[in-house]
Chain A
Amino acid sequence: MRISCPYCGERSLDEYLYIGDATVTRPDPAGANAQADFYKYAYERTNPAGAHKELWYHSAGCHAWLVVERDTRTHEISSVETAKDVALKRNVAKGGA
């Protein structure tokens, strides 16, 4: 499996670390349902057979965090974005800075 880092180009799997599910976002610890939200955030995962968004860390390269959309059955990668860009877009969508 090879992942195209937006900064470094295509690199083999041994340069990356799999970090986890990129579809979940950390809840607000001061929110009204913080305890239930954190339970969901920590434990409830969908484990799809098919397209999945995952966080990968380019540990032996540029140290960028990436959001990789991968088919869990075929390892086919359909998109790679930096986690920074994904977070910025999410903040803009929320109306934040």
Chain B
Amino acid sequence: MSSLTLTPTNALASALNSSRSSVAIAVLDGLSIAHVAARKGQSAALAARVKELFGVTLSQTPRIATGSNVSFVWAGPDQWLAMARADTNPDFERDLRGKLEGLASVADQTDARALATVRGPNARHVLAKGVPIDLHPKAFPAGSAAITHASHIGVLMWLSEADDTFTLACPRSYASSFWNWLTESAVEFSPAVGE
């Protein structure tokens, strides 16, 4: 009969492990952003053009649709925020405006929004301190988007389809207040804060 070996475990070990960097917050930079609003009666034609150009199906409900080079996040009825990497798409807005001529009004938002990402097991707990909508995976599954507010600051937010990362976009002039709220809300979870 083999002897049983027991390893002592500190009663608080799990508490320490679960709180250490259980949330990561980072600034999301380097994106070209454009607001796209369908012209009157052109919604279907716009969706067809976007599908043809980028292989992305524009969502008519609050969701994000991600293609290989560009993402379209729902930003209101018949409106979307289009995003692409700035380094490979320096003229994103002008380019998009040309491609969607007659179908949508396109406005540059690159410098108008500040973006931050929140991920990790406690991301929902951090966001729940200021975001008044239900972020439970059943109510806000991967790929969902919402226009709401975070600590009274208007945000457009979405949950990526791929890696359980929340992204929040707030007006540029609110960026420091927003960042202050976000980092303060995460303190209890010892966040990993990136630039």
Contact = CB atoms under 8 A, between A and B. Distances in A.
Interface of A: 7-9, 11-12, 14-15, 60-64, 82
Given A8-B62, A12-B132, A14-B132, A63 B148 contact: no
Contacts, number: 32
A62 B76 contact: yes
A71 B76 CA distance: 28
B147 interface: yes
Binding site of B, secondary structure by majority: helix, strand, loop or mixed?
loop
Contacts of A62: 76-77, 147
Interface of B: 61-62, 76-77, 132-133, 146-149, 154
A60 B154 contact: yes
A64 B146 CA distance: 14
Given A9-B62, A14-B132, A64-B76, 14 more contacts: A7-B62, A7-B77, A8-B62, A8-B147, A11-B133, A15-B148, A15-B149, A60-B148, A60-B149, A60-B154, A62-B76, A62-B147, A63-B76, A64-B77
B40 to A, nearest CB: 11
A10 to B, nearest CB: 9
Contacts of A64: 76-77
Contacts of A9: 62, 133
Nearest to A14: B132
Contacts of B147: 8, 60-62
